[in-house]
A and B are shown apart, each in its own frame.
Chain A
Amino acid sequence: MTDISNLLLDAAERIFADLASTDSINACEQGQWPEALWTALEENGLTRALLPEEQDGSGLTLHEAIGVLRLAGYYAAPVPLAETWLAGHALATAGCEIPRSGLTVPSLALDGGGLGDHLHGVPWGRHLPVVRLITGPTRDQSRLQLVRHATVAREGSNMAGEPRDDIDLSAGETVEDTVIAWSVDYWLALAAVMRGAQMAGAVRRCLDLACSYAGERKQFGRPLAKFQAIQQQLALLAGEAAAVETAVETAAATLSPDAGLLDAAVAKARAGQAVDSATNIAHQVHGAMGFTYEHRLHHYSRRLWSWRDDFGPETYWNRIIAEQALQAGGDGLWPMLTALGRPALPRDRPYSPGRRAACSMPALSTRCRSKQS
């Protein structure tokens, strides 16, 4: 990891820990825009991590920056950070000026053009300009639009209470309308990896919350953590957390406009597959307390139940993978698998001891525990 990405990670963690509090997450659910949190993210350059330095960004690669999104998920930060990164990255790539505000993208429509100007379930759509990609003019190119002041046809929310609004772009102001050398598939894959990183963080938080709760809650005279039945369940949850983190880490390292689409598919699919098991175990360990609104576990479980459907659910991505596999055939499947995880560009440096995954953080469990005690 580069120094700059470590600096951003430290800043992100501090800001999320301070400002993505239970109260502020709940306030957002009541419809409030998280002004203090968003401003802090902007002031620390965290909304522009992927943008080139000429555009006032940090110039990080997705792999270098992905840990920030994972932290956003770990803290259930109620902000359109992934959406802003994705939209800004597209605008920058197309050579457009990037607005200072947050940005959003259509979340449910897999191809922004397929549904015309009426977009459903746009994250934070009532607050933000929309960037969308429309297929064509060629296979590797798309039409990119930035639309401001679109009509909010209906305000809604996902299962976690995050804004998901129906937007009508037809009466909005189209600020940019240009061609970008990205396929819509790549755009969607980027979005999926970014949301997958948030999911990795949320699954990890489910693990940490469940581990600390099991350490504190006593029944039959001893902490839940001392029961083998509970230990076995938490070990399974740890496996899910590890699998999601690894898949996202791999995709973030390999995805480019020319390569890594299947790695992205694996990442979002694996993240989606983890949700049922991870939330099941975390809720079961928390007992009835975790089913209350008062306890914060639902900040993570409800997000996971929502996010798994954003930018393609696991069924969508698994179909993409299977279609590729069937094209490769029985003998081609293994070469397809061994080509995964390999960056198209020359690889960075060889592994050196102590190197941390971009999508992993040291001792989150410990920190989480000490905060609670």
Chain B
Amino acid sequence: MTQTLNFPHQPLPDSAENLRADIRAFLAEERRQGSFQPASDSWLACDPEFSRKLGAAGWLGMTWPRKYGGAERSALDRYVVTEELLCAGAPVGAHWASDRQTGPMLLRFGTEEQRQTFMPPMARGECYFALGMSEPDAGSDLAAVRTRAERVDGGWRLNGRKIWSSYAHRAHCMVVLCRTSPRDDNDRHAGLSQLLVEMDSPGLQVRGITNLAGVQHFNEVLFEDLFVPDSRVVGEIGNGWQQVVGELAYERSGPERFLSYYGVLAELVANLAAGPTPDKATLAATGALISQLASLRQMSLSVAARLEAGEMPALEAALVKDLGTRFERLLPEQARLIAGANEISTHQGEFARLLRGAILHAPSATLRGGTNEILRGAIARGLGLR
């Protein structure tokens, strides 16, 4: 069946909108206290203390059942909190993976014991997860993973290495995608499983990788005869691929795919508003960034509403990520040009600081979570081309 593009207009329900004032007040107070400095790409900025504050305020694990530390709110409520945090440039990197990915995954595939053990501290902002997906020879081609787990008495023995794991050096645990049976070239997606590994396990080594901005946020993680007990298998052995790709729509269409450098736009507007009335070309160029952002947000909200209703709009979600991350690449470059034409400094001041962070981080926008080229391949499949 050919998928079609469907983005019904669906404004956020009042229940979600009503949260906005609360989270804005919280963030304003944190800013006043100087607890964080707004950053570009703040979902990669790690601040455990800030994560604990969010947990205490009830803004982590919002959608999870109460018995696991959640608040049983809708995903649209969480959407509001997430976009407000991102726009404020708040440091949400410490809990990002556990709140967005691991928690929902345990809820869907984990055992009762795993949920009881890990989800309440995740929701308190005390337990952080890293993702163990990519490998040196398995990037976009995730099915090529070679990290393997062999059956041993009472569990599995893990050997191999993962790479690009954000904050593995600060995380408590990691979910590792690995081979539990040899690779079958006729079914490359078979024989993969997910194991939950605690970072202080013997046989685990984390090597930091410094990115081009001079920051260590991602890592190489090595496993050498690391023992994983049966109780830490997530979901079913051999079902790892389905567990990983099944919820890509959630990860692809969220506001982090177009708001990572929002601060640059806000500072640009602040600078333009403070100066002499800009010429028409400046206004048109600035407005073009805003109208693109506004339409992206509506697309993302529409996908969010469909997800919340139990649908799986995979094609639409992929389109949001491709358009959104390309906007993230465009925004700093356009903002720089507009600034240059309006004598806004790109050397000093808040705009310059955020712009610099955005330019240095932007190359990752169209790579992380799967490259845009692979994504467009998936879109082409959705269009019936392949």
Contact = CB atoms under 8 A, between A and B. Distances in A.
B297 interface: yes
Interface string A201-225: 0001001000100110000000001
Contact of A231 (B296, B305, B316, B380): B380
Given A242-B299, A329-B273, A341-B301, A321 B5 contact: no
A352 B10 CA distance: 10
A228 to B, nearest CB: 7
Contacts of A232: 373, 376-377, 380
A235 B322 contact: yes
A130 B309 CA distance: 46
Interface in B293-323: 293-299, 301-302, 305-306, 308-311, 316, 319, 322-323
A319 B9 contact: no
B288 A273 contact: yes
B116 interface: no
Interface in A306-346: 314-323, 325-331, 333-334, 337-338, 340-343
Contacts of B282: 322
B270 interface: yes
Interface in A212-252: 214-215, 225-226, 228, 230-232, 234-236, 238-239, 241-243, 245-247, 249-250, 252
B380 A234 contact: yes
A247 B295 contact: yes
Interface in B147-200: none
Chain A contact residues, majority secondary structure: helix
B11 to A, nearest CB: 5
Contacts of A328: 269
A235 B6 contact: no
B385 A215 contact: yes
B4 A266 contact: no
A353 B386 CA distance: 27
B283 A360 contact: no
Contacts of A230: 385
Nearest to A236: B376
Contacts of A353: 306, 309-311
7 contacts: A225-B380, A235-B379, A238-B379, A239-B322, A246-B295, A347-B11, A365-B2
Interface of B: 2, 4-14, 17, 20, 83, 87, 262, 265-267, 269-273, 278, 280, 282-288, 290-299, 301-302, 305-306, 308-311, 316, 319, 322-323, 373, 375-377, 379-380, 383-386
The 3 nearest A-B residue pairs measured at CB: A330-B270, A318-B287, A235-B376
Interface of A: 63, 204, 207, 211, 214-215, 225-226, 228, 230-232, 234-236, 238-239, 241-243, 245-247, 249-250, 252-254, 262-263, 265-266, 269-270, 273, 314-323, 325-331, 333-334, 337-338, 340-343, 347, 350-358, 360-366, 369
